[in-house]
Amino acid sequence: MEEAVPAKVSIVREQKDIGFVCQDASLRHAMAGLENATRLRMPIHLHGETGTGKELMARHVHELSARKGEFVAVNCGAIPEALFISEIFGHERGAFTDARHDGAQGLARLADGGSLFLDEIADIPLASQTVLLRFLDSMEVRPVGGKTSKKVDVQIISATNSDLTDRVAKRQFRADLLYRLNAYTLKLPPLKLRQDFSAIVKRLMDELAPQAAITDAAINHLRKADWPGNIRQLRGVLQRALVRRDMEYIDEVSFDDLVIAPEASSEVCDGCRGHPLNQHKCREIRQKYVSAGHNIAETARALGLSRTTVYKHVF
């Protein structure tokens, strides 16, 4: 008779389909605390290069928070400096020249009961940073020209692709505002370093052309490219390849505009070329070096090798 398997007590929750690919171990690890952080209403800060999925993640945070209110996104870089405060906090009727005749409630109040996504926060004008800081401290909104404040309940999410600590050092961004916003920071890795690269390619293919196929060779070819525009750029490259192939399939010669990173294009180092026994190890070291963001020490640590050995194979 088969022995009954005891139910395993596990603290690893099943991964739900969250609508986008997230199988990368480092990202999943970083996301583990997200739900608790939103439960504690901590401001969430998303940092990552352009096209790494910050907006998608911000929407996910809103869903995690299970708030009934709206998800209100504000592109801080797109609002003229003079209008920033009134856009966010609203204004009373006729508060300033050009103010809307009937006043405006502002985005912070619109997000009451929901989430306010402050995108591109590095672009918030310095003068407005002070007002925003005051709001984050009190969660009270007072419209321009108004006499009374109203308390709101808003999940704050912010995002940037800039190095904010550098901007703080240059006095372009207030340190106290940064510490208010980045209570819980999630870093979105660049596409080049993601372990779930092929899952991302397949997900994009499903979205773009579910009937079309992509070969493993094509995915490997894509993996070697440089991706300064990250997932957004990958989507564009796949779209163009699909158009070239009449939406039927993509193979490794379907791409017309891929820039292959020089260190990844030569698969083994000069010393190992022609030595089949060394090539496997060499390839592993070079791949790890790329995925470790060109960091010799990290590559050496991950593979249990000396730095000198890694150095020999990557240069």
Interface residue list for Mg ion (CB under 5 A): 54-55
Backbone angles phi, psi at 147, to 5 degrees: -105, -20
Q: Binding of ligand ATP at residue 105 (CB under 6 A)? A: no
Spell out, one character per residue from 190 to 209, where the chain touches ligand ATP: x when CB under 6 A holds, - when not: ----------x--x------
Q: For Mg ion, give the closer residue by CB, 54 or 194.
A: 54
Question: Which listed option, Mg ion, ligand ATP, none, makes contact with residue 165 (CB within 5 to 8 Å by class)?
Answer: none
Among 51, 103, 106, 114, binds ligand ATP (CB under 6 A): 51
Shortest Cβ distance from residue 84 to ligand ATP (Å)?
A: 19
Q: Distance between CA 298 and CA 291 in Å, rounded?
A: 10
Interface residues for ligand ATP in 5-44 (CB under 6 A)? 20-22
Q: Binding of ligand ATP at residue 48 (CB under 6 A)? A: yes
Q: Binding of ligand ATP at residue 45 (CB under 6 A)? A: no
Pick the closest to residue 61 from 73, 51, 49, 79 (CA basis). Answer: 73
Q: For Mg ion, give the closer residue by CB, 88 or 242.
A: 88
Shortest Cβ distance from residue 135 to ligand ATP (Å)?
A: 23
Q: For ligand ATP, give the closer residue by CB, 55 or 284.
A: 55
Q: Binding of ligand ATP at residue 161 (CB under 6 A)? A: yes
CA torsion angle for 261, 267, 271, 274 (degrees, to 10)? -150
Among 187, 232, 280, 301, binds ligand ATP (CB under 6 A): 232
CB 87 within 8 A of CB 41: no
Q: For ligand ATP, give the closer residue by CB, 198 or 279.
A: 198
Question: Which listed option, ligand ATP, Mg ion, none, makes contact with residue 28 (CB within 5 to 8 Å by class)?
Answer: none
DSSP reduced 3-state for 301: helix
Spell 243-257 as b/e; 16+ CB within 10 A means b. Answer: eebeeebbeeebbee
The residue nearest ligand ATP at its CB is 53
Question: Which listed option, Mg ion, ligand ATP, none, makes contact with residue 231 (CB within 5 to 8 Å by class)?
Answer: ligand ATP
* Residue entry with tokens 């890795």: 189
Q: For Mg ion, give the closer residue by CB, 107 or 219.
A: 107
CB 310 within 8 A of CB 212: no
| DSSP per-residue string spanning 58-109 | HHHHHHHTT-SS-EEEEEGGGS-GGGHHHHHH-B-TTSSTT--TT-B--HHH
Q: For ligand ATP, give the closer residue by CB, 193 or 302.
A: 193
Pick the closest to residue 46 from 125, 192, 162 (CA basis). Answer: 162
Shortest Cβ distance from residue 153 to ligand ATP (Å)?
A: 25
Instruction: Please classify residue 43 by burial: count the beta carbons closer than 10 Å to its beta carbon, then call 0-12 exposed, 13-18 middle and 19+ buried.
Output: buried
Question: Which of the stretches 52-60, 127-135, 219-227, 303-311 binds ligand ATP when contact is defined by CB under 6 A?
Answer: 52-60
Q: Distance between CA 124 and CA 76 in Å, rounded?
A: 6
Q: Which residues bind ligand ATP (CB under 6 A)?
A: 20-22, 48, 50-56, 161, 200, 203, 231-232, 235
